[in-house]
Structure 1
Amino acid sequence: MTPPTKRPRPRIDDVAAAAGVSRGTVSRVLNGGHWVSPEALAAVNAAIKKTGYRVNPHARSLATNRANSVAFLLTESHDKLFEDPNFAVLMRGAADALAVHDIPLVLILAGTEDEQRRANDFITAGHVDGVLLVSAHANRTDIISNIIDARVPAISCGVPLGFERKMGYVAADDYTGARDMLEHLRSLGRTKIATITGPQDTSGGIRRLSAYRDDQGAQFQEQLVGAGDYSRESGAAAMAQLLAAAPDLDAVFAANDLMALGAMDHLAAAGIRVPEDVAVGGFDDIAPSASAHPPLTTIRQPFERISAEMVRLLLGAIKGELPSAVTLPTELVVRDSA
């Protein structure tokens, strides 16, 4: 039996011949279509489809000095990626925004020191053209410093504490959102409002607690502040601590929805009704919040817009634009928990 003849891979010259244009015109089309007439552009695209030509990504990288990929750098542990739905929403939104430009997104997890070292080596070696930094912690600054020192374009989700003037970022208006929630709780007649904070080495955790302190003013009490780490379990533990310290509290604002849902878990187990006895408010508006019992009142972050803006700023940074910062408004979503 005669083996099938292997067809040679189409080359730029084949595309040029099929389109009736020069090799240089095909090359210009493949590199963005600059200085190419609409007629020639249409002819080359038709010829590419007809011949089955495919760009050699390795050759393009060598020619353009670009990796043609972007890193989604998450400085959290692996379990947080699956526990917190916000990360999946941001990653999906970023991937969709980059797909418009035919740029793939590479997920890099860097929750431990070893992972951060490997991530740093990979990023600074030129394997990606830029970085979308998610969940930047103030106690994990080495990797941010290395990215900046290597002049790798990067945009942070949230304010990169200590690097605000050196790295662009996109953030929700954490402070105003938190104030809106607290004002809503007080409008319901709640007078003893507690809070469950996010990590105090993140911009969101710091700003939402600052909003609570300012809202409480002279009535601020340290015993009404419970510490959390954005996990559901930490919300339940903080709620138990708050009830032990102030059993007469009548509302709680949790700095994210997972902790608010954890607080509701503990309140239900303790036989405390929501919202009749204790009103509960969260922050984020993750999907499980709407189906909780009762549905959770929360502050909605525009995650799809955040990821799209991050990609827009990063592509600008890759082109050499100066770092930019964008702060987006939040929205109060009133449901049955408060």
Structure 2
Amino acid sequence: MRSTIPPTLDDVAQAAGVSRSTASRAINGGLRVSPEAQAAVDDAVARLGYSPNRAARSLVTRRTDSIALVVPEPDGRILTDPFLSGTLRGVSDGLLGTELQLVLLLARPGEHPGQMARYLRSGHVDGVIVASHHRDDRLEPELGRGSLPVVFVGRPFSDEADLCYVDVDNVEGGRIATQRLIQAGRRHIATVTGPLDMTAAVDRAAGWRAALAEAGLPDDAVVEGDFTTIGGAAATERLLAEHPDTDAIFVASDLMAQGTLRVLAAHGKRVPDDVSVVGFDNLGIAEALRPRLTTVQNPVVEMVEAATGTLLDLLAGAPVPRARVLAPVLVEGASV
């Protein structure tokens, strides 16, 4: 009858024909272990079904075998925002085939700026992926001055900390969205931005301005939203009150565009006959709207998988590029 007593490190060492210390080093990273000894230990681990004690291993390696996904947003947003749910999926997919555990950290009401960063720097995780960050959450300066491996999903505000990041070219995305409206013959093109304490919103608005400047059109019709449907609706109400001649709107997210379309309908404005609309994301909402929303593809899962791969390379000590920026693509609908 097979023993029910789990194999120990000594059992692995004996089966592999190596010392206990060599077996330990082979299991915990292979430092100063010959290829032959490593192969023998790997074979013994597989044959015996040995599972290392994580608590004991962490004392040797100073590793927790976990990484954090930090989303400095209220917890309700991750269930309703397709960007955030796509971010969680991308990290999970990127960790397939590894033994790393994922720790999800969300913002808490009233949390003091920098509190989350101090928690992360205190040794609870081996590395961090940050998504949907804001200027005032202080994650950039706090994490940038430490040795903890960090990768941002989205361009950081500051270049000084030399932080690694993966992003879509949001400036180009805003430009091609606005260019599509110009090509449709629109001349009073407004924008509903995202929150301007986020680089994605700043960059998309910059692309909108660049396209209008190139066409010699005014860029005064700007209202700030918050990347939510309710926020998009409220911003569109303000926009129509302040700029009633608006004949096109570039909305910086599809969630906000959903609110925009509702408000336009309530005001008796037909899309695209009276007002054309282009969104940003293409994460499932655009195709469900009527008319089907013309939007800009935001490759969230691909971005986050790339960010996860970059973090894994950092943890392995491999060289990584500071920035990886993916190209946006316009996805035609029926709203222009």
Q: What is the TM-score when the length of structure 1 is the normalising length? A: 0.88
1:246-304, Cα deviation, whole Å (9 max, x unpaired): 33322110011111111011122223222222111111111121121121111111112
Alpha-carbon distance, 1:145 to partner: 2.4
Q: Deviations over 1:39-73 (max 9, x none)?
A: 973x6445434433211111111111111111101
Q: What is the CA–CA distance in structure 1 between the aligned matches of 2:271 and 2:13, rounded to whole Å?
A: 70
Deviations 1:133-176 (Å, cap 9, x if unpaired)? 111211222x4322233321211111111245431111110011
After superposition, the Cα gap between the structure-2 partners of 1:151 and 1:113, relative to the gap in structure 1 and judged at 3 Å, is: farther
Work out which of the residue numbers 245, 259, 274 in structure 2 matches 1:248: 245
Select between 75-84 and 160-169 the one with higher mean Cα deviation: 160-169
Match of 1:214 among 210, 225, 240: 210
Q: What are the within-5 Å matches in structure 2 for residues 77-226 of structure 1?
A: 77-114=74-111, 118-141=115-138, 143-163=139-159, 165-217=161-213, 218-222=216-220, 224-226=221-223
- Tell me if the contact between 1:74 and 1:111 (Cα under 8 Å) persists in the aligned partners: no
Alignment-derived partner of residue 59 in structure 1 = 56
Q: Aligned pair in 2 of structure 1 residues 61, 115: CA closer, same or farther (>3 Å)?
A: farther
1:99 match: secondary structure = coil
**Aligned mate of 1:278, from 275, 293, 307:** 275
Contact map agreement 1:285 1:298 (CA 8 A) in 2: yes
Gaps of at least 5 residues in structure 2 are none
Structure 1 unaligned spans of 5+? 1-5
Aligned residues: 331
Relative to structure 1, is the Cα distance of residues 116 and 221 closer, same or farther in structure 2, using a 3 angstrom cutoff? closer
Q: Answer whether contact 2:222 2:239 (CA < 8 A) is retained.
A: yes
8 Å CA contact 1:95, 1:104 repeated in 2? no
1:204-239 Cα distance to aligned partner (Å, 9 max, x none): 1111111222222253242x2121011111111121
- Most deviating of 180-189 and 75-84: 75-84
Residue number in structure 1 paired with 2:307: 310
| Structure 1 residue 101 displacement after superposition | 2.6
Offset of 1:36 from its aligned partner? Answer: 5.2
Mapped to 2, the partners of 1:210 and 1:118 lie a distance apart of: 31
Kept after mapping to 1: 8 A contact 2:18/2:37: no
Greater Cα shift, 119-128 or 228-237: 119-128
The answer on whether the counterparts of 2:162 and 2:322 sit within 8 Å (CA) in structure 1 is: no
Cα distance, 1:331 vs structure 2: 0.8
- Alpha-carbon shift at residue 334 of structure 1 (Å): 0.5
Tell whether the 8 Å contact from 2:144 to 2:161 is kept in structure 1 after alignment: no
Match runs of 1:254-293 below 5 Å: 254-293=251-290
Find the aligned partners of 2:313 and 2:113 in 1 and give their Cα distance. Answer: 25
Conserved in 2, the CA contact under 8 Å of 1:110 and 1:116?
A: no
User: Is 1:238 aligned with 2:235?
Assistant: yes
Asked whether the 8 Å contact 1:168–1:324 carries over to 2, the reply is yes
Moved more, 274-283 or 15-24: 15-24
Distance 2:201 2:38 in 1: 54
1:183, 1:111 → 2: CA distance? 39
- SS in structure 2 opposite 1:287? coil
Cα shift at 1:108: 0.6
Match of 2:335 in 1: 337
Question: Quick one: distance in 1 between partners of 2:142 and 2:245?
Answer: 49
175-184 or 159-168, larger mean C-alpha shift? 159-168
Letter of the aligned partner of 1:331 in structure 2? V
**Counterpart code for 1:209:** A
1:132 and 1:202 mapped to 2: Cα distance? Answer: 16
Using the alignment, how far apart are the partners of 2:187 and 2:18 within structure 1?
76
Using structure 2 for the length normalisation, give the TM-score. 0.89
Using the alignment, how far apart are the partners of 1:323 and 1:111 within structure 2? 32
- Taking only aligned residues, the RMSD between alpha carbons, in angstroms, comes to 2.6
Q: Percent identity?
A: 36
Taking the aligned partners of 1:149 and 1:247, their CA distance within structure 2 comes to 48
